Amino acid sequence: MTNSAADYENLLSTSFSDANTAVRSGVRPRWERKQQQAKLGNLPESRKVLGSSNGGDRFIPNRAAMDMEISAHLLRSSGSENNLSVADSTISEANQDEYKSAVSATILGVDDVSKSATHRILSFKEKAPTPRGDTVNNLNVLYSASAGAGAKKTSKGTKLVSRHIPSAPSRILDAPDLMDDYYLNLLSWSDTNVLAVALAQTVYLWNAASGDIQELCTLESDSSDNYVSSVSWVQEGGAHLAIGTSSGTTQLWDVQASKQLRSMDGHTDRVSALGWNRHTLTSAGRDTTIINHDVRTARHNIASMQSHTQEVCSLSWSRDGDTLASGGNDNKLCLWDVATSSTSTPRFELTDHQAAVKALAWSPHERNLLASGAGTADRTIKFWNSQTGSLLNNIDTGSQVCALQWNPYEKEILSSHGFAKNELCLWKYPSMAKIKELDGHTARVLHMACGPDGAVVSAAADETLRFWNIFAPPSKKTSRKRGAPDTQSQSTKLSRTMHIR
């Protein structure tokens, strides 16, 4: 019995021992493959077959990228820090890395083990491409809140202003017999909140605070050829109004006394444009001559300047009083020094416009910044540095530019247009992004003026005056102190029409 049990145990041990290879699967156990790889590490170079085994192997793609010798060495050397032999234990810690490198170079033929540390046993694809630029900063830009806010600002449809701009006018006044002439200047608003409007042969005054209408003067001639061609308030005080006529005379009126103080000659044709610079009144017209009048002296003509070859249709003095800008039907924009005499030439003659230069406006925010607009053949608004004569910016509006008006509180500019849109456009400066379009006029909007409270009035060939709340003052209290009409009471009169005469 004992012998039979011993034989049975021997039979079991020989049947299921490692030496029995009669029945085996195609894939060896992992521990057996590890043992075989360790034995292959001690074979001579001529007998080594990397990546092979006697009993088959798993499929490993991209074998060209594998080096089993280096991989086996790294696996054995990275398991423990105490894998140096007894002979190597006497080496100091500082020299252990150098010693390992020397051993690796001798046994494996590798110059630097650290370079092969990135070697992978399995390599299914090439390494990922190196990211462009700073990956961390790129992610910050993509996912930061500030970047998202910046993207919203530049997106289409984003509001460029935070205030509300009404699309409808706050008040409409009827202006019969307003001449449909692109070259005239028939509107002016004083700093005392009084609006002067020239209708044919008569000049009317409308008090924006009280709503009162006053007829200042009417030309005596019954002929239709005699009419008021330009009006302009004195800069400070609002007590005197200059009136240019089609006969070539320039009149000076005391508004409070409703009395003409003097009549100044010098032109042979109609006076189309007027401009004040303290006590100097500048006039220009169809005779292409620009005249400076000193209203304090009897011999008022102090300078007569000629550079334009056709009618001068716009004049504007800079806010510091050093430069006069003149635009003409000859498509020229001229800049004159304040000390210009009759024999002097303009500082600059700018000929970039392709039509009559009617619209002129000096910026209240930047010194030496001038905006100009021209007629149908040009349709552009241009911005100039008056000190150097250089063109700073140019925007095509798509329609005739009749007048320009800067926002006194923000860096914005308002333009009025003729054919074909007959509208007002508000632009953001300097990007010249269009903020708002204001419709309402049925004919070209020839004139614009801005009141002391920021209200804007437009006069068009449809014989109406429309008042717009476009330029918001810093505070409502400030606007009320200056005598501005109540906006809420005006909103109830949108459809109401008032006759000036």
pTM: 0.65
CB atoms within 10 A of CB 347: 15
CATH of 171-499, one of 2.70.70.10, 2.130.10.10, 3.40.309.10, 2.60.120.10: 2.130.10.10
- Would you call 33 exposed, middle or buried from its count of C-beta atoms within 10 A (0-12, 13-18, 19+)? middle
Kindly state the percentage of the chain with pLDDT values over 70: 66
**pLDDT higher for 335 or 90?**
335
Closest to 353 measured CA to CA, from 388, 389, 328, 370: 328
Q: What is the mean pLDDT of residues 471-490?
A: 53
Section 181-193 average pLDDT: 97
pLDDT digits (tens, 9 = 90+) for 45-59: 544 444 444 445 555
Task: Encode pLDDT of 369-413 as tens digits.
Answer: 999 999 999 999 999 999 999 999 999 999 999 999 999 999 999
**Residues 90-121 as b or e (16 or more Cβ within 10 Å = b):** eeeeeeeeeebeeebeeebebeebeebeeeee
Question: Per-residue pLDDT for 191 more than 80?
Answer: yes
Q: What residue segments make up the domains of the chain, in order of their start?
A: 27-116, 171-499
Is the separation of the CB atoms in 100 and 110 below 8 Å? no
Is it the case that residue 475 has pLDDT exceeding 70? no
Residue 72 confidence (pLDDT): 72
Res 44: pLDDT: 52
pLDDT bracket for residue 111 (50, 70, 90): low
How high is the pLDDT of residue 120?
Answer: 53
Which two three-digit tokens encode residue 92? 């100091």
